[in-house]
Structure 1
Amino acid sequence: MSIKPYLLTDQGFVNRDELYYPFEERGLQFGDGVYEVIRIYRGNYYLIKEHVERLFRSAKAIKINVPYSKEEMYEKLDELLTKNSVETDAKVYLQLTRGSAPRDHAFPKDVQANLYAYVQDLPRKVEPLQNGVTTITQPDVRWDYCYIKSLNLLPNVMAKQEATEKGAFEAILHRNKKVTEGSSSNVYLVKDGIVYTHPATENILHGCVRMRVVALTTQLGFPFIQAAFSLEDIAEADELFITSSTAEIMPVVKVDDIQVGTGKPGPVTQQLQQAYEKDAKIPQSDSIFPAAAQERPVSG
């Protein structure tokens, strides 16, 4: 996945080969910062407002001043795509840290925040979106403020690595056997046509795609209940899926050694996938469904 040549920074636009920070950079030394990953389809942002709003919420929560206003951020992110002539599927990674200063746990005074954002090609994950993925479960050992999209991701990284070593796509996290979310995704269970997911508390990241799923389930007429479900509930589930900006609405067909439902993506998940494609304005030529499936709703 190639990275485009121009980056947005707190100082404006630079070539990727020109960007550097001092070794005493608080994001590097303390994880003292926040980030966003924004999806792009055919050169257009998806859920850009939700991502920018969350960036500012996260920054406010840890007392970092964003070097641009929200209006300027929208303009700069649009210009980032224009400067890089982005016309395909991609993502923007945006990172904001407290800045560069001599190492000290206390916040430095009068320091300028460091910001950079770059564009990277990112084709859709067609095969797993069509056929589903396997996952494992892991205890959720993260801190209590997961709603902040913080750079402190070591527990997430360790859980994802455990999944990778076991040949799984994702690690589903739980606290006292209650599912919270994935290492890099939100998690949903479907039973009798009802969609369940963990409430939007401080213990989970309030995913931008998660926010959209709330609206899409309403549009499709599926009840959406924000209530934590247990690991034991997974064995009785009809369907399970995860969401993120890069995974979209991803069916889960196996958790540890447990087959979910029929072992194939279920009808509720597939209808949500189709609604997602429509919402993201993904052309039929790029759809994960055959053309015939686009002409009628998926039935159970």
Structure 2
Amino acid sequence: MSSTVYLNGDWIAAEHAKVSVFDRGFLFADGIYEVVPVYSGKPFLLERHLARLYRSLREIGISVADDAFWHELVHDLIKRNNYGDANGLIYMQVTRGAEASRTHLPGPDLKPTVFATINPLALHWDQPAPVRITLLEDIRWLRCDIKSISLLGNILLKQQAAAVGVIEPILHRDGLITEGPASNFFAVRNGALYTAPKNHLILPGISRDWVIELAAEAGIPVHEEPFKVADLPQLDELFLTSSSREVQPVGQIDDIIIGDGQCGPVTAALIEAFHASKRRHLGRVS
């Protein structure tokens, strides 16, 4: 596949994409991003992803174009990179722009930098094998609800997890579980789902919200409320959600075996419900 990216009004080869060294995204991580999955050339849950993009932009005071611009950008990116029948992840980043004076307080007339690219994504229809994760203290900033490009805390946590051979940490603050650095979490106990409530300490995941809706359709109770670290040994099931992993069962947290260490029935039902929603999105009947 070709690799054509969008940068500030131009469509160019990825290797030719460049931004100023004075861009505030480079100097201060002053910007936001959004990720949209594409299944067989069709963006999945696009309106929800764009709504979160707009919210992040509002929260940090950046104004960029209108709704029509973003829809056209997404569909042009798919077309120009020949993803009409392929699966991918669209990455869109907006920074506050560039100014020669390096100052914490930005000037009033900056023109935002807008960048977008698409990369391959494996589309699966199976039940993922349960993974092992680790429990770490949440060291990130206090506005995790903004999808900020300032991800150093997330990176450090992912490195800690990789150092002990696991794919993802699950994070806690003051004894309460928040989320993962690249995922939301759901616990299962007595047939009901538990997940952290939406607030400034978690990213409002699109897949998180979608799974809550799928659970409601399946008659599975959902409790959006604080969940204690001390309750982890009593869980029947645990899974992670994100746009790239969809629904990922967890079999073990450090030395704690979740249930019997396998994918439990509630998680399995939601994996299949997620697959069914993809089939509907693609116009497949089975």
Deviates more, 1:18-27 or 1:6-15: 6-15
Identity over aligned pairs, percent: 33
Equivalent residue for 1:50, pick from 48, 51, 60: 48
Q: 1:74 maps to which residue?
A: 71
For 1:70, the aligned partner's letter is D
Equivalent residue for 1:215, pick from 193, 209, 213: 213
Deviation string 1:86-143 (CA, Å, 9 cap, x unpaired) is 022210111110011121111123111001110101214778x521111001111211
Say if 2:181 is the partner of 1:183. yes
Instruction: For 1:69 and 1:12, locate their aligned partners in 2 and report how far apart those are by CA, in whole Å.
Output: 17
Question: What's the CA shift for 1:189?
Answer: 0.3
Instruction: For 1:93 and 1:283, locate their aligned partners in 2 and report how far apart those are by CA, in whole Å.
Output: 20
Q: 1:270 maps to which residue?
A: 268
Question: What's the CA shift for 1:151?
Answer: 0.9
Q: Aligned to 1:281, what secondary structure does the other structure show?
A: helix
Q: 1:290 maps to which residue?
A: none
Equivalent residue for 1:130, pick from 106, 128, 137: 128
Q: How does 1:47-196 map to 2 (within 5 A)?
A: 47-66=45-64, 68-86=65-83, 87-102=85-100, 103-124=102-123, 129-196=127-194
Q: How many residues in Structure 1 have an aligned counterpart in Structure 2? A: 282
Instruction: For 1:273 and 1:248, locate their aligned partners in 2 and report how far apart those are by CA, in whole Å.
Output: 8
Instruction: For 1:89 and 1:5, locate their aligned partners in 2 and report how far apart those are by CA, in whole Å.
Output: 14
Instruction: For 1:217 and 1:126, locate their aligned partners in 2 and report how far apart those are by CA, in whole Å.
Output: 19
Contact 1:8–1:117 (CA under 8 A) maintained in structure 2: yes
Structure 2: where are the runs of 5+ without partners? none
Q: 2:30 maps to which residue?
A: 32
Instruction: For 1:69 and 1:36, locate their aligned partners in 2 and report how far apart those are by CA, in whole Å.
Output: 16
Question: What's the CA shift for 1:15?
Answer: 2.0
Deviation string 1:269-300 (CA, Å, 9 cap, x unpaired) is 1110111111122899x9xxxxxxx8xxxxxx
Instruction: For 1:265 and 1:79, locate their aligned partners in 2 and report how far apart those are by CA, in whole Å.
Output: 39
Instruction: For 1:164 and 1:42, locate their aligned partners in 2 and report how far apart those are by CA, in whole Å.
Output: 32
Q: Aligned to 1:280, what secondary structure does the other structure show?
A: helix
Q: Aligned to 1:144, what secondary structure does the other structure show?
A: coil
Instruction: For 2:113 and 2:164, locate their aligned partners in 1 and report how far apart those are by CA, in whole Å.
Output: 37
Instruction: For 2:193 and 2:108, locate their aligned partners in 1 and report how far apart those are by CA, in whole Å.
Output: 47
Question: What's the CA shift for 1:7?
Answer: 1.0
List, as ranges, runs of 4+ consecutive aligned residues in structure 1 with deviation greater than 3 Å: 124-127
Q: How does 1:239-250 map to 2 (within 5 A)?
A: 239-250=237-248
Question: What's the CA shift for 1:18?
Answer: 2.5
Instruction: For 1:18 and 1:259, locate their aligned partners in 2 and report how far apart those are by CA, in whole Å.
Output: 48
Tell me the C-alpha RMSD between the 2 structures: 1.9
Instruction: For 1:56 and 1:283, locate their aligned partners in 2 and report how far apart those are by CA, in whole Å.
Output: 23
- Normalised by the length of structure 2, the TM-score is 0.94
For 2:73, the aligned partner's letter is K
- Normalised by the length of structure 1, the TM-score is 0.90
Contact 1:125–1:247 (CA under 8 A) maintained in structure 2: no
Question: What's the CA shift for 1:45?
Answer: 1.0
Instruction: For 1:104 and 1:125, locate their aligned partners in 2 and report how far apart those are by CA, in whole Å.
Output: 46
